[in-house]
Amino acid sequence: METLIYILKAHLLFLILGGIYHFVLRNEKSFIFNRFYLLAIYGVSIIAPLLEFKLFKNITFVDPSLLSSSTTKATISNNQLALESSILNLEVLLPWIYAIFISISVIIFLVKFGKSYHRFKLLHRFARFDFKKKIYWVEEDIPPFTFLNKTLLPLRLQNDENKEVIIKHEEAHRKTLHFFDIIWVELLSSLLIFNPLNKKIKKYVVENHEFLADEYACKDTEKTNYAQLLIHQTLNQNQLQFVSYFAKPTILNRLNMLDSNKNSKSKPFLVAISFAFISLIFSCDLNPTEEVIIKKETITVPDNDALENSEVPGNKIFSIVEDQAEPQEGIQAFYDAISDDLEGNYPQQAINMGIEGVVYIQFVIEKDGSLSNVQAVKGIGAGCDELAVEILKNNGDWIPGKQNGITVRSRRVIPIRFVIN
């Protein structure tokens, strides 16, 4: 169950953060901020749901006089058959199925990357390096592109009047390590393989790279001339994957961005605050933690003088008595009986959720040795509290407590520990 919750939280966080980019930032010219925001979406969506910081705490105070004096606590083990049946549960199978799809996605990425790298090495092997411009010239008629930290251009562009602009564009890809972004996104996107925004965000990452490179290249040329150059460059359909090309299918968006003046300073600031706040929410466990604290103070008990001459209030419940109430067969036999009753009855919901812990049961031993007011003063949920209360009610054969030799009603608290073996 915890794995499924994590997967759902990761996908939901990615949808929210990706949606913010789509509706708020994608048309803004805050390219550097956009770049790191897009990269952070993947990292935060995967890491934040794993953190589970505790914000709230529920504290229950238990008086030490109410706790059982026994040194042995009941440890309840689930039935092996229950565990075996839970393996067939859909909640257990789904994470494994999801992991298989992730593995397949990573393998496909590695195969595609390997093919692209092999083709690149074939081109690079016979390329001539230009030390001055830090580029490689190849005889094959290819579109200009940058792969990893190397830029390849066809020899036909050596005498082209727009050569310097193209080189500057590819220089931006190379110097700002855009290849790292692509590998980062391709690998982490495998963990969010079924997310409907995954493909769109990957497109935005590549598109933003081109916006950054276009902006860098336009520093030395007019925007109108640069736009004409983009239009003039025809796309070569036989392209490598995971590379940065001068001409990309996003050319229309690039032309629109060249003419755009949208550069709000407030939007990135507001988005950054929203990003931090939303990530914090998904990093926290909003369910309060349970803590039991043993009080230092003791409960005040009536003086012995009040108990003389059998003057004991009929309905008075004592927390401390001279002769403490005990099970008929002894406290150890009592715990053994509880363990026998609970063996094989570990709640299925608790097994699925992996819940373990201590349930504190408070009850009153009546004058006839029966138990009443049985309740869990601090529990762990998932059916464990109810089960512990029900079993304890069936083990109500106690020797009542006495004060000054007089039988009285008394209150006790016992801890029962649930452990999945």
Domain boundary among 284, 319, 353: 284
Share of the chain above pLDDT 70, in %: 79
- Kindly indicate the confidence band of residue 389, based on its pLDDT and cuts at 50, 70 and 90: confident
Residue 163 forms part of a structural domain: yes
- Kindly indicate the confidence band of residue 338, based on its pLDDT and cuts at 50, 70 and 90: confident
Name residue 384's amino acid: C
Tell me if 381 sits within 8 A of 58, measured CB to CB.
Answer: no
Instruction: Quote the pLDDT of residue 172.
Output: 93
Question: How does DSSP assign 143-204, residue by residue?
Answer: --EEETTEEEEEGGGTT-TTHHHHHHHHHHHHHTTHHHHHHHHHHHHGGGTT-TTHHHHHHH
* Same domain as 261, residue 340: no
- Tell me the C-alpha distance between 205 and 414, whole Å: 59
Number of domains present in the structure of the chain: 2
* Residue whose structure tokens are 């803590």: 291
Instruction: Quote the pLDDT of residue 287.
Output: 62
* Same domain as 339, residue 228: no
Mean pLDDT of the chain: 80
| Predicted confidence (pLDDT) per residue in 166-194, tens digit | 999 999 999 999 999 999 999 999 999 99
Residue 65 forms part of a structural domain: yes
* Same domain as 209, residue 117: yes
- Tell me the C-alpha distance between 38 and 167, whole Å: 26
Domain boundaries, position 112: 2-59+95-284
Domain boundary among 265, 284, 303: 284
- Kindly indicate the confidence band of residue 382, based on its pLDDT and cuts at 50, 70 and 90: confident
Hey, is 358 helix, strand or coil?
A: strand
- φ, ψ (nearest 5 deg) of residue 345: -110, 15
- Kindly indicate the confidence band of residue 273, based on its pLDDT and cuts at 50, 70 and 90: very high
Residue 369 forms part of a structural domain: yes
Instruction: Quote the pLDDT of residue 64.
Output: 47
Tell me if 264 sits within 8 A of 30, measured CB to CB.
Answer: yes
- Tell me the C-alpha distance between 142 and 163, whole Å: 14
- Measured over the CA atoms of residue 62, residue 63, residue 67 and residue 71, the dihedral's sign is positive
* Same domain as 19, residue 75: no
> Of 183 and 263, which is predicted with more confidence?
183
* Same domain as 302, residue 222: no
